[in-house]
Chains A and B, each alone.
Chain A
């Protein structure tokens, strides 16, 4: 069964560094999403992406964040200058019809 995959599974970075989180959505899906989950808290919507552009973004998704689909398969989330509070699990999801399928997540730790 097709799955959403994410790399890396874990990333440790220094505050102020740039990180790129990668996702490969399920191939025939058209809508893509990034979510984050701070340890012990609920999942929070970051951004949705459709037709090669951002459809909607939350207040969390500020100028430090960007997304792109560089090659028609990968879907990336870039954090330009990481802060301590960016430490979280980041989930990518892709959607067909009503169902969103989540990847296994990337655990980001900012030191």
Chain B
């Protein structure tokens, strides 16, 4: 089973600032990585797939990069609606699908 590790667990960022979230896989997952955003009391929402392809409706301020074992989600200028928990998920070696533990982006 591939273990996904996200860092940091929590990130305090001011409105308009840049946020950088990391996700590491225990072995290579090629570019088969997705990012999701989850707000309190809501279902997750797909942001990025294929490590860097924005899903329909994902604003351009979200960008994904990386391949192999190390991945990054960057939010170029944080808006109020971006404060949430972000999860990465690999789909290169499944079953099982595996998710990272999440990064909570909080207002500074």
Query: Do A and B interact with each other, yes or no?
Result: no
A residues whose Cβ falls under 8 Å from a Cβ of B: none
Q: List residues of B whose CB falls within 8 A of some A CB.
A: none
